[in-house]
Structure 1
Amino acid sequence: MESGRWDELERRVAALEAAAGRPAGPGEKDPTAPATFWALEGLRPQAQGSGAVVYAGTFRSEAGEVDWQYAHHVDDLLGAPDAVAGVDEGADRGDLAQVAARLAALGHPARLAILAAVLRGHDRTADLAELLNLGTSGQVYHHVKALTTAGWLRPAARGQVAVPAERVIPLLVAMGVSS
């Protein structure tokens, strides 16, 4: 086959592949493909110091929809080095204590079951004991109080509880990273 015809054939095959949306070959980036790290690409320019962490989500229920996103600088999450070592009793150590208390409140299967049930629309505390087979209503109230103190629940109408909108996505993230 002469060189001109071969070049024409290669050009036509390339045009057909492009029109068919062929996947990118080795070492090529497909400009039509979604970015693999789309969240990181948006976060990276804003990350300072040791970096940043972002989480976002959308949650739909009968009560409505929650769309939420948040970013933390890694240095803020870890606290000041002196506070972590126990040398400084400043605000950073208090922040870590609050984080520990919030995480500790999630450390019981009954509490996670209560939160999952509330997110599914079962918000009456009187019904949770029977629904989740948790024993007495006193046990349910004990767990609800711990979750409320930690900020994972808040009182709603009389005898009802809700997960605050600003806690829905962080709760789902905490459950997701633990699964």
Structure 2
Amino acid sequence: MPSIPEPQRNTRNATQPASAEERLAALEARVEALENAAAESSAAQGFWVVDALHAQRDQIPEGSVIFGGDIDAAGGSYSYQWQRPISTLTEPSMWSESFERLSALAHPVRGEILRRLLQAPAQVAELVDEEIVTSTSTAYHHLSALSHAGWIKKSGSGTYEIAPARVIPLLTIISAGEDH
């Protein structure tokens, strides 16, 4: 069996400092770089919101959930943020009220209506013409459920739109439903 030569290690590299002081300085620089990288803001890892929360801990109740957004949709601009401490979010009344509001979203036709209303406000006839609903009675049934839950509002001209204070929360729910 032929012998395989052992790889030779060059113990003298052109980039390696020659003196002990230079090698020590280079080693200290490498350790400092590693420590700085470990202490670097988690923003580099995509947690810039969490970093902002940590920076404002004295102004925000401990254990808070915050969401917000800034978008142009449905013919308008929406900027919104919401914060609640964990103590509020775990109250039984918060859960029952929230699930009632969320249950209005749990129908595919209502989802399509809301997705359509994100593009622009619409009248019932438009929803029927665009085949989002099969009839005016079906449209009114679903619009009523969405309206009672506070997701949409009706203008005096019979046009429905997503309530401005619900645009960002709705998109937050859709985002939260993604496979993370």
Question: TM-score, normalized by length of structure 2?
Answer: 0.71
Aligned to 2:68, what secondary structure does the other structure show?
strand
In 1: Cα distance, 2:161 partner to 2:66 partner: 24
| One-letter amino acid of the counterpart of residue 149, structure 1 | H
1:169/1:26 Cα in 2 relative to 1: closer, same or farther (>3 Å)?
Answer: same
1:38/1:133 Cα in 2 relative to 1: closer, same or farther (>3 Å)?
Answer: closer
Q: Check conservation: 2:42, 2:51, Cα contact below 8 A.
A: no
CA-CA distance at 1:29 after TM superposition: 4.7
Which structure 1 residue ranges, 4+ long, deviate > 6 Å from structure 2?
A: none
Look at both structures and tell me which one has the larger radius of gyration over its CA atoms: 2
Match of 1:113 in 2: 112
Match of 1:28 in 2: 37
Segments of 5+ residues of structure 1 without an aligned counterpart are 15-23, 85-92
Q: Check conservation: 1:115, 1:163, Cα contact below 8 A.
A: yes
Is 1:53 paired with 2:65?
Answer: yes
Aligned to 2:133, what secondary structure does the other structure show?
coil
Match of 1:41 in 2: 51
Match of 1:173 in 2: 172
| One-letter amino acid of the counterpart of residue 3, structure 1 | A
| One-letter amino acid of the counterpart of residue 37, structure 2 | E
After TM superposition, the structure 1 = structure 2 runs for residues 92-171 of structure 1, keeping only pairs within 5 Å, are 93=93, 95-171=94-170
Match of 1:21 in 2: none
Match of 2:5 in 1: none
Match of 1:67 in 2: 79
In 2: Cα distance, 1:32 partner to 1:104 partner: 39
Question: TM-score, normalized by length of structure 1?
Answer: 0.71
Match of 1:3 in 2: 18
Aligned to 2:37, what secondary structure does the other structure show?
coil
In 1: Cα distance, 2:90 partner to 2:139 partner: 33
1:33/1:55 Cα in 2 relative to 1: closer, same or farther (>3 Å)?
Answer: closer
CA-CA distance at 1:54 after TM superposition: 0.9
**CA offsets 1:63-116 (integer angstroms, 9 cap, x no match):** 22101111111110110xxxx4xxxxxxxx3x4332111000000011111011
1:25/1:99 Cα in 2 relative to 1: closer, same or farther (>3 Å)?
Answer: same
Which segment is superposed worse, 127-136 or 102-111?
A: 127-136
Segments of 5+ residues of structure 2 without an aligned counterpart are 1-11
CA-CA distance at 1:38 after TM superposition: 1.6
Q: Check conservation: 1:153, 1:164, Cα contact below 8 A.
A: yes
In 2: Cα distance, 1:74 partner to 1:123 partner: 37
Aligned to 1:135, what secondary structure does the other structure show?
coil
Q: Check conservation: 2:124, 2:140, Cα contact below 8 A.
A: yes
In 2: Cα distance, 1:67 partner to 1:28 partner: 34
User: What RMSD in Å do the two structures reach over aligned CA positions?
Assistant: 2.9
| One-letter amino acid of the counterpart of residue 164, structure 1 | A
